[in-house]
Structure 1
């Protein structure tokens, strides 16, 4: 077993680190609970990133920072290498978090009551930013067809005919795990062009497209689409850096870019934290091999989880993930009542997952399992869930 796989198998105690995933859970359930919930990984960050952060920590002075050529070169290199997208330095705008950027975009490019479209079920901080900014949230439900979620293009067009200012697009999709195909993206782009809709694409899970699937940055479809697209990227999910807060908002359109920069300054958002940029530079220039091994490990976790559920809890339906390290599971054969699912999984099994209603309409009776965790911990969690499995008791 190589050194990277050995590090992936290492179980690291995250209690006492101010972890949103583990310490919040411990306050409610205690430290015997297992967390497969919040979408950060329980896998060690690559050694190249750790070395970069240790080097900065050893400096001993943690003053204000700024952005210089190596940061931009690293982002350009990553987009070129991973997605064959040649971007210009001036297109790249630093923002701490993608959700923060989405909120600023909504504030600057729409007025109160303007209509903003999302696909549901979805990662809720995105639609929540619409509501909190007093815009009108328009939800277009994804359709589950033969075990695969698909966009309802007729429904999208009906909404756009009534007026939509922004499409908040999640690609790859969270929680369903869809990696949108190029033909699907072309249909989305055509609608947005026809009805003059700004595309804001959250592509934070882009680096996790599984074998047989390929992530396409929607802005690469054409220069015309690039000019109406804001692409939100980050190394946070890929390299487990969420707590360092760094995202790259890529905006080819100069007018859109200037507007976003203005709104950032108006909101007092500027300059990265001390450790964020060195971590990104290491991630995007020195961790390609590590990421390849991580993808293989995650796909192994997916295969393990699917096989375990099929053998021990066959009434549950796993939605085949095409991307992300998240597993969307239909538990409606057990119950459509989320409180009953929580009683089974949280209270009786001692495992914390993300429950479906947290993802809005279409989530009832579903759970999302975070598979970015050591195999042994995943196995223990699934065994706990199986032992408490209500259908096994009937």
Structure 2
């Protein structure tokens, strides 16, 4: 598609659009007058090649029941091959409204109440809510901090596997740390899961947003044995800023596992998706490659600028440089306890950030900052933070 636009500096007003990030501030932070850097979506315009396809469909006057055409699945298959050199088949793909609903469906399909599920902590907070909400037991595998990046504690992971874990929910790339796990790490934990008959559910929603030279490796691409134990969850939502269209997909090569999972997805009736979400997903993967390249360049520049600015102005902060995502994981512990820092960020800096303890006890004292926004907006927020902490 021609005329692809790349203006990531354009500032759009998202207030009063029922936008979670802006219009739910009072609900989550107790006041409206905050600059939001919390919810993990971007403040960039959804690409014009997606909007144009949606507008084209809206010229038709009926929005009834829909299904996904063959090309919907083919664009996903082609995208995985181009972006991640991962050869998959259309028949391996199922759909859900979101990655978290895919996690929940997997838990319901393959575990029973009180069964043990491993997670690497700290990690994306819906992992806790979903596992505990379905009355399963969390086994925490705390990540090791080495050379200012997270590493998986393989020995401890093996110990947890021996405790009878039925499932492992992986975040790859990692949220909130932005770590792109090495193939060696993924193979090690994958092989453990194979040996102990543990199903891997891999959240790979940030896989298209690799900022540096590291390469994203879908854990299911490593070997047939690991693939046969893996349910991979992906979506175009983070990459193309279309989370509001609730369109995600599941990739699973093991026919028996896929059939069992599909039975659950169909039973709770979340397989259909929505008409405009289906169109957006198809357009994103068919026309989005060039646009994503420009987006990554912009995000990488934002990331570098934010880190250098904070290091210079607030040298006591410890900042984990992300390999992927548009999220900065910042250790504020040198400035006081988390409650005090949370209060200072809200009441003095007037910014909304995710507090680290919501990602698990290992994240206490950290805050997650979303730099997926126009540079001018990011700089304004960073200046507010610096002013609140400088003295």
TM-score range, shorter chain: over 0.9
Contact 1:160 1:195 in 2 (8 A): yes
1:32 is displaced (CA, Å) by 3.9
Distance 2:30 2:202 in 1: 36
1:60 corresponds to? 61
| Range that drifts further, 371-380 or 267-276 | 267-276
Distance 1:240 1:306 in 2: 24
Correspondence list, 1:1-394, <5 A: 4-5=5-6, 7-26=7-26, 32-335=33-336, 337-389=337-389, 392-393=390-391
Report the 3-state secondary structure (helix = DSSP H, G, I; strand = E; otherwise coil) of the residue aligned with 1:107. helix
1:194 is displaced (CA, Å) by 1.3
1:26 is displaced (CA, Å) by 4.9
| Range that drifts further, 301-310 or 53-62 | 53-62
Distance 1:249 1:169 in 2: 14
1:4 is displaced (CA, Å) by 4.2
Distance 1:200 1:167 in 2: 6
Distance 1:351 1:368 in 2: 12
Distance 1:279 1:163 in 2: 41
Report the 3-state secondary structure (helix = DSSP H, G, I; strand = E; otherwise coil) of the residue aligned with 1:279. helix
| Range that drifts further, 198-207 or 264-273 | 264-273
Change (3 A) 1:115 1:344: same
Distance 1:293 1:317 in 2: 28
Distance 1:304 1:31 in 2: 28
**Structure 1: any 5+ residue segments left out of the alignment?**
none
Distance 1:93 1:99 in 2: 14
Distance 2:55 2:221 in 1: 37
1:3 is displaced (CA, Å) by 7.9
Count of aligned pairs: 388
**How high is the TM-score relative to the length of structure 2?**
0.97
Report the 3-state secondary structure (helix = DSSP H, G, I; strand = E; otherwise coil) of the residue aligned with 2:87. coil
1:29 is displaced (CA, Å) by 5.8
Distance 1:21 1:377 in 2: 14
1:270 is displaced (CA, Å) by 2.6
**RMSD (CA atoms):** 1.4
Q: Deviation digits for residues 203-244 of structure 1, max 9, x if unmatched?
A: 000011122110001111111111111010110101011000
Distance 1:279 1:211 in 2: 27
